[in-house]
């Protein structure tokens, strides 16, 4: 690992890794930064290789740790700032043009795509799949029951 993580990375790689740390997927990062998703993936891949990290999340944590380590001696009030940044993170999807309803009907990553969703988003997608499966099962049971009453 380089002595200073930030000097090893380009500004775009740093931007991408910071947004990865906020739980954003490549498509969301691309929208935020005005880039193509493949360009975001290239920046993240290059950063992961430069840092010698195993994946994008580890690289993001390395960048975050480096920033925290640099700020701690001169800024003892970092704990107060972290609570403010948590509040900003909660509001970020709304200000970035993402609506609550859009996130409810979005599809989970398909086969071959990296699943870099937060645990809340994963749980939401699992519930969506369960509701759809239960609805389909109920519809099939109603159809079978209707056919059986017509036949008998």
Domain ranges of the chain: 5-106, 118-152
Q: What is the pLDDT of residue 86?
A: 44
Average pLDDT along the chain: 76
Token look-up 């939401």 returns 124
How far is Cα 18 from Cα 75, in angstroms, rounded to an integer? Answer: 20
pLDDT tens digits for 17-59? 999 988 899 999 999 999 999 999 999 999 999 888 888 988 8
Q: Which CATH class is domain 5-106?
A: mainly alpha
Cβ atoms within 10 Å, residue 102: 10
Task: Of 6, 128, 125, 113, give the one whose Cα is nearest residue 68.
Answer: 6
User: What is the Cα Rg of the chain in Å?
Assistant: 22
pTM of the model: 0.45
pLDDT tens digits for 94-133? 444 455 556 555 666 666 666 666 788 788 888 888 999 9
Q: Which two tokens stand for residue 51?
A: 């840092």
């Amino acid at each position: 690992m380089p002595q200073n993580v930030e000097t090893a990375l380009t500004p775009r790689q740093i931007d991408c890794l910071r947004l990865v740390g906020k739980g954003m997927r490549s498509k969301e990062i691309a929208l935020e930064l005005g880039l193509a998703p493949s360009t975001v993936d290239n920046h993240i891949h290059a950063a992961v290789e430069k840092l010698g990290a195993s994946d994008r999340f580890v690289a993001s944590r390395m960048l975050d740790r480096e920033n925290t380590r640099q700020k701690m001696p001169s800024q003892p009030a970092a704990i107060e700032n972290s609570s403010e940044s948590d509040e900003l993170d909660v509001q970020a999807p709304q200000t970035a043009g993402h609506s609550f309803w859009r996130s409810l009907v979005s599809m989970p990553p398909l086969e071959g795509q990296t699943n870099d969703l937060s645990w809340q988003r994963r749980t939401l997608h699992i519930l969506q799949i369960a509701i759809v499966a239960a609805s389909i099962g109920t519809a099939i049971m109603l159809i079978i029951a209707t056919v059986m009453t017509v036949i008998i």
